[in-house]
Amino acid sequence: MNAVDAALMVERLRVEFPVLGGKPKVAVRDLDLSILPGEILGLVGESGAGKTTLARAILNLPPPPGRIVAGVIQFDGKDLLRLSERELQSIRVRNISMVVPNPRGELNPLVPVGEQLASIARVHLGKDKSSARAMALEMLRAVQIPDPERRMRAYPHELSGGMAQRVVIAIALMCSPRFIISDDATSGLDVTVQAQILELLSHLARKQGSAMLFITRDIGITAHFCDRVAVIYRGEIMEIAPRESFFLSPRHPYTMLLLAAFLHNPQLRQAWTHPDASLRVNPDAGIGCAYTYRCPRAREMCHTIRPPLAERTSGHFVRCHFPLERE
Amino acid sequence: MPKVLNFLKLAVRIAQVRPRFLLGYVIVLVAIMAGLLAPFLSPYSPIAADSSHFLQAPSKTHWFGTDAVGMDIFTRTIYAPRIDLTIAITGTLLSALVGSFIGALVGYFSTGRGIRVHLSYAVMRAADVLQAFPVFVFAIALVASFGQSIQTVVLAIAFVNAPIYLRLMRAQVMAIREMRYVEASLVAGLSDFQTILRHIIPNAMTPVLAQLSINVGWAILLTAGLSFIGAGVRAPTPEWGSMIAMGFQNVATGQWWPSVFPGLALAGTVFGFSLVGLSIEVFADPIKRRALVRDLEIARRSREVAALSGAEGALSAGDAP
Amino acid sequence: MRLILYIGRRLLFIVPQLLGIVLVGFLLVKSIPGDPAVLMLGPTATPDAIASLHTKLGLDRSLPVQFWIYIRNLAHGDLGTSWQTTRPVLEDLVQRFPATLELVSLGLVLAVLIGVPLGLASAFNESSWLARIANFYGLGAGSLPDFWLALVLIFIFYTTLQWVPAPLGRIDLSLVPPPPVTGMLTVDSLLAGDWSAFRSAVGHLILPALTLGLINAGPILKMTQSSMEKMLQSDFSRYEVLCGMPHRLVVRHALRNALPSIVTIISVLYGFLIGGAVLVEIVFSWGGAGQYAVQGVLNSDLYPVLGFVLFSAIFSLFVYLVVDLIYFAIDPRISH
């Protein structure tokens, strides 16, 4: 896939976090990722795998004190990492937007939600006050918030978690951006509300024809509506494949572990867990395969040589020296 | 030995990135040294009046000039830390100890069963009342009640500042109390008291430490203020506040040096303690520490780049035929 | 309606708080050595006169009874008499309190005018030279002794430059002060249309107010700076940046969120300075309430001290109430 076809293309991205008195911690390591227009790509990883770092780095806003030290992010023929702040401002939420987790913590507590929505319309779409308000109201309706007129004047802390999440989705979709990043959009919500939110999000994204990077810790969710699924571990993509191929023939040992956990299958889980994984300290050296210390199939080669992300069958890439072979 | 060396290296790097911290520690060191080494730094006596040489402008023989009774101002200025610093540090430490201790108890027992809860509440209301008192009037009244001496000034400072540490410690303890390891300690059989001592207090100390240095600065100002109006340290003991008071009349007639120099020393010393307090705040607070770490990292990278280009330069020079 | 309930509840709490303050003050003041009767009657007093004054003042009774007598008198508006001025303390304070209020208010206004813009400037661009100056000022201002700065300013602006009148009191001694309406000379002379009195009052007010302003700008600057920084680094500010909001909008919202902290420190300083401006009052012979109380302590004149403590406490509690009401208006989260 080259830059012309992709909606967004990440190349060799590297994000580091400085550490007091030592070498910096690498949160995202030489990561490549491409997303086609209109495609929904699921990205699965555990806490600390670098998902949020990646998500925010795309907008050139790595979580402090992180720093982007290398890489290119191609969007609309430009490298996002080389743009000025002003140019980035016009792209954010207008062309690339993000659905954030913990919405009540991210919305401004002193501003009513309707006003926060309307200001997006004013700033990015050039609307005047009344049409911005009308648009905000319409968006609240689109995300299925009950009694939207009253909710326009509500403050973030007055909303439930689910409703606040809908507001954040409304903000992200307001300008019909071409690319949406959904970072753990359903964490902390009730299971039933989760399902509703996911339904809403995928429906609206498809309707607008936006491409989406759907980040989650829950591999099961991706099976529902993602076109492709990727697995991230310690800042590196370990496996990426079209949905069917991913779930029918997973190849990376870590993917197997994630699936085993999701399927609540203890024997399977045990089969894919390293016998003393919990006791092993994984030195962050960047040498060899990052998964070595937790991998039950690791061999000597894995300690010293980093496996490349190689294509096994059409569109199915794995980063492993000894992936599972199928068929 | 290598640990000490690494620590020193880190200290130097921090000083390069945050020169104001270095300034603070240097000032405090200078003030302490001046007080300790004063007899060796000046031939004059700090309390010997010499009426034939009064109100002389700064000169080579009297670096800061002389005051209205002929005492050398430079000498008195560098002797003053003995009084000012001793009073301020003692008073602050006392207030921190007493205030923190009571605050920890109050915080720990603020919820739960029985009379302890009510006592905690009562202590907090008492602290409210104490803090509602105009600080200066309170301090002067204490000094007036207990008699004017260095010890009572120390006590006044302790009294006035204790509520600050009480509140600080209480807030910290109330937050920490909810944490898991406290639960674990109690389950393991430690009594309330032991839990407080061994687990809660060490973790609650950080904001207290940050406050200490700044407090010492305030305490010096309070001491000087009390002495200025004659309710603190009595003349002719060298003390910055009383020196400023003694030079008070002379300012209007143009002899500025008896009041200005002690004031500069006073302001400078308090400033130094404030900077030290700032540095402790940064070291103790993880959020502030991050900014420091980031700056250290940036500095380290530019050093590496410089070293690299230097090495390359050496290489290419060596390769030239 | 909720508002009225809230104010009512606060006012209800004020009474026991004040009682507590008066009690502590009473105990404190009673521990100061010195017999009020002897001081009032002077060195020529006979033992009989002293004894009868003791009885009249209730000094021969036990402490709790004396306290009760004081409270009872308080309810009738009698704060006792000062043996130094030989006038009722209430009268003395009514004359002096506005002087302190005038000075402290103008001082705080100056402090805000200096501190807030500098604090904002340094929060916006942390590495600019203005930010460095602001940092230095924030720390340095709090390190300056106020009585010393007053002397330095007097030396510069009076002794050397002769720009201001002599630091003796609030108005030129040769002028007739305007009829007292608020007790504040600047306001009263404006109300009376007396321009020369106004000019003289302002001229005398400038230096002490500047002293207070320069020093107290420090904490205000630091609070503005740290509060703005905190808001700019908060999740919601970063979210606004994430949404491509222009910088000035993000800053404006951050300022709105930072206001409560800034207002808090201003109010704390206000309450503090009523008693805390004492040294400046003394240097400028201002005749303010704090000076009155300090002279009371130093001369074992107890009622002025108690009266001042009461006045200053009422003022502080009132300021805190107003501030909490302001919070109500700014922050929608609090009404819960």
pLDDT at residue B275 in the model: 92
Q: What is the pLDDT of residue A162?
A: 86
Q: How many CB atoms lie under 10 A from the CB of residue C3?
A: 11
Could you read off the pLDDT of A12-54 as tens digits, one per residue? Answer: 999 998 876 667 888 999 999 999 998 999 999 988 888 999 9
CA distance C303 to chain B (A): 13
3-state SS assignment for residue B90? helix
Is the peptide bond between C219 and the residue preceding it cis, with omega within 30 degrees of 0? Answer: no
- The mean per-residue pLDDT over the stretch C83-110 comes to 90
Q: A280-284, B52-56, B265-269, C158-162: which has the highest mean pLDDT?
A: B265-269
- Per the model's pLDDT, the better-predicted residue between B192 and A7 turns out to be A7
Judging contacts by C-beta atoms under 8 Å, the chain B residues touching residue C158 are 252
- By C-alpha distance, which of B48, B45, B42 is closest to B63? B42
Round to whole Å and give the CA distance between A253 and B317: 51
How much is the average pLDDT of B31-55? 82
Hey, how many other C-beta atoms are within 10 angstroms of the C-beta on C65?
11
The pLDDT of residue B318 is 42
Any chain C CB within 8 A of the CB of A144? no
Q: Which residue range(s) make up the domain with A296?
A: 249-318
Please compute, for residue C165, the number of CA atoms within 13 A of its CA located in the half-sphere on the CB side: 17
Q: What is the mean pLDDT of residues C311-324?
A: 83
Q: Is residue A216 part of a domain?
A: no
Among A16, A20, A26, pick the best mutation site for testing chain B contact (most B Cβ within 10 A). Answer: A20
Give the total number of structural domains in chain A.
1
Instruction: Please state whether the peptide bond connecting residue B236 to the residue before it is cis, i.e. omega within 30 degrees of 0.
Output: yes
Instruction: Point out the least confidently predicted range of B2-6, B119-123, B184-188.
Output: B184-188
- In angstroms, the separation between the Cα of residue A68 and the nearest Cα of chain B is 13
- Look at residue B316 and tell me whether its pLDDT is greater than 50: no
Residue A134 confidence (pLDDT): 92
Q: Are A187 and A59 in contact (CB under 8 A)?
A: no
Give the model's pLDDT for residue A281. 60
More confident residue, B202 or A184: A184
What is the dihedral angle through the alpha carbons of C321, C325, C328, C329, rounded to the nearest 10 degrees?
-160
Nearest by Cα to A119 from A181, A180, A162, A174: A174
pLDDT tier at C334 (50, 70, 90 boundaries)? low
* Cβ–Cβ < 8 Å for C77, C88: no
- Interior angle at CA A135, CA A134 and CA A140, nearest 5: 100
What are the tens digits of pLDDT across the range A250-293? 999 999 999 988 888 888 888 888 877 665 666 666 788 888 88
pLDDT at B321 over 70: no
Task: Look up the pTM and report it.
Answer: 0.79
Does the distance separating the beta carbons of C279 and B263 come in below 8 Å? Answer: no
Is B17 near chain C, with CB under 8 Å? Answer: no
Contacts of A18 in chain B (CB under 8 A): 293-294, 296-297
3-state secondary structure chain C: CHHHHHHHHHHHHHHHHHHHHHHHHHHHHHCCCCCHHHHHHCCCCCHHHHHHHHHHHCCCCCHHHHHHHHHHHHHCCCCCECCCCCCEHHHHHHHHHHHHHHHHHHHHHHHHHHHHHHHHHHHHCCCCHHHHHHHHHHHHHHHCCHHHHHHHHHHHHHHHCCCCCCCCCCCCCCCCCCCCCCCCHHHHHHHHCCHHHHHHHHHHHHHHHHHHHHHHHHHHHHHHHHHHHHHHCCHHHHHHHHCCCCHHHHHHHHHHHHHHHHHHHHHHHHHHHHHHCHHHHHHCCCCCHHHHHHHHHHCCCHHHHHHHHHHHHHHHHHHHHHHHHHHHHHCCCCCC
Q: What mean pLDDT, rounded, does chain C reach?
A: 85
Question: Residue B293 and residue A64: Cβ atoms within 8 Å?
Answer: no
Q: Out of A19-28, A307-316, B213-222, C158-167, pick the least confident.
A: A19-28
Type of residue found at C241 = V
Residues 6+ apart with CB under 8 A from A37: A5, A6, A7, A178, A209, A211
Question: Which C residues 154-183 touch B at CB under 8 Å?
Answer: 154-155, 158-159, 166-167
Span C198-220, pLDDT tens digits:
888 888 999 999 999 999 999 99
Contact map slice: B 189-218 vs C, CB within 8 A: 217
Q: Are A151 and A139 contacting, i.e. CB atoms less than 8 angstroms apart? A: no
Helices B115-132 and B73-108 pack at an angle, to 10 degrees, of 150
Indicate if the pLDDT at residue B26 is higher than 80: yes
In a domain, A273, yes or no: yes
B30 pLDDT higher than 60: yes
Of all residues in chain A, the one with the smallest CA distance to C260 is: A110
* B137 to C148: CB separation less than 8 angstroms, yes or no: no
**Is B157 near chain C, with CB under 8 Å?**
no
For chain C, which chains pass the contact test of at least 3 CB pairs under 8 Å? A, B
Q: How buried is residue C100: exposed, middle or buried, by Cβ count under 10 Å (0-12/13-18/19+)?
A: buried
Q: What is the mean pLDDT of residues A308-314?
A: 89
pLDDT band (50, 70, 90) for residue B319: very low
Q: How confident is the model at residue A2, as a pLDDT?
A: 54
Residues of A in contact with B294 (CB under 8 A): 18, 64-65, 67
Q: Which has the higher per-residue pLDDT, B27 or C62?
A: B27
* pLDDT tens digits, one per residue of C123-138: 877 777 888 888 889 8
The one-letter amino acid code at C300 reads: S
- A64: which chain B residues are within 8 Å (Cβ-Cβ)? 290, 294
DSSP A100: P
Q: What is the residue-averaged pLDDT of chain B?
A: 82
Residue B142 confidence (pLDDT): 85
User: Which residues on chain C place their C-beta less than 8 Å from a C-beta of chain A?
Assistant: 233, 235-236, 238-247, 249, 253, 256-257, 330-333
Q: Model confidence at C311, in pLDDT bands (50, 70, 90)? A: confident
For residue C202, CA distances in Å to A286, A306, C205 come to: 71, 78, 5
Structural domain spans, chain C? 95-291+309-330
Does residue A161 sit within a domain? no
CATH number of C95-291+309-330: 1.10.3720.10
Q: Hey, is B18 helix, strand or coil?
A: coil
User: Do A28 and A235 form a contact (C-beta atoms < 8 A)?
Assistant: yes
What's the confidence (pLDDT) of residue B317? 44
Give the separation between CA A10 and CA A182, rounded to whole angstroms: 16
The predicted-structure confidence for B148-185, as pLDDT tens digits, reads as follows: 888 889 998 998 899 888 888 888 877 777 776 667 77
* pLDDT at residue C333 in the model: 65
What was the pLDDT predicted at C150? 92
The share of chain A scoring above pLDDT 70, in percent, equals 94
Which residue in A105, A123, A124 is closest to C235 by CB distance? A105
Q: Which residues contact B58 (CB under 8 A, 6 or more apart)?
A: B64, B65, B257
On the question of pLDDT at A102 being above 80, the answer is: yes
Chain C residues 245-304 with a CB less than 8 Å from chain B: 272, 274-276, 278-279, 282-283, 290, 293-294, 297-298, 300
Picking from B300, B242, B262, B232, the residue whose alpha carbon sits closest to that of residue B88 is B232
State whether the Cα torsion A311-A313-A316-A319 is positive or negative: negative
pLDDT reported for residue C56: 74
Give the lowest-confidence range in A149-158, B287-296, C272-281: B287-296
C-contacting residues in A 2-21 (Cβ below 8 Å): none
Q: Is A125 on the interface with C (CB under 8 A)?
A: no
Cα B248 from Cα B258, distance rounded (Å): 8
Q: Do the beta carbons of residue A286 and residue A305 sit within 8 Å?
A: no
At C114, is the pLDDT very low, low, confident or very high (cuts 50, 70, 90)?
very high
Q: How confident is the model at residue C181 (pLDDT cuts 50, 70, 90)?
A: confident
B253/C contact by beta carbon, under 8 A:
yes
Listed range (B72-81, C44-53, C86-95) with the worst mean pLDDT: C44-53
pLDDT tens-digit map of A69-78: 999 999 988 8
> In the prediction, which pLDDT does A283 show?
65
Candidates C151, C279, C300; nearest CB to B259 = C151
Strands A96-99 and A179-183: parallel
Q: How is B300-312 classified by DSSP, letter by letter?
A: HHHHHHHHHHHHH
DSSP string, A149-179: HHHHT--GGGS-HHHHHHHHHHHHHTT--SE
Does C235 contact A106 at a Cβ distance shorter than 8 Å? yes
Mean pLDDT of C256-273: 87
Count Cβ atoms within 10 A of the Cβ of residue B320 and give its class: 0-12 exposed, 13-18 middle, 19 or more buried: exposed
Cβ neighbours of C305 in B, within 8 Å:
137, 141
- Which residues in chain B are contacts of A67 at CB distance < 8 A? 294
Structure confidence at residue A57 as a pLDDT band (50, 70, 90): very high
Q: Report the candidate in C67, C93, C97, C73 with the shortest Cα–Cα distance to residue C82.
A: C93
Q: For A20, which residue in chain B has the nearest alpha carbon?
A: B293
What residues does A230 pair with on adjacent strands? A43, A240
| Residue of C227, C232, C238, C242 to mutate when probing chain A, most A C-beta within 10 A | C242
pLDDT at C336: 41
* Interchain CB contacts (distance < 8 Å): A and C: 64
* A119 part of contact set with chain C, CB < 8 Å: yes
Distance from CA of C238 to the nearest CA of A (A): 8
Q: Write out the two tokens for C18.
A: 């004040």
- Structural domain contains residue A307: yes
Q: pLDDT (tens digit, 9 = 90+) per residue, C297-309? A: 888 888 888 889 8
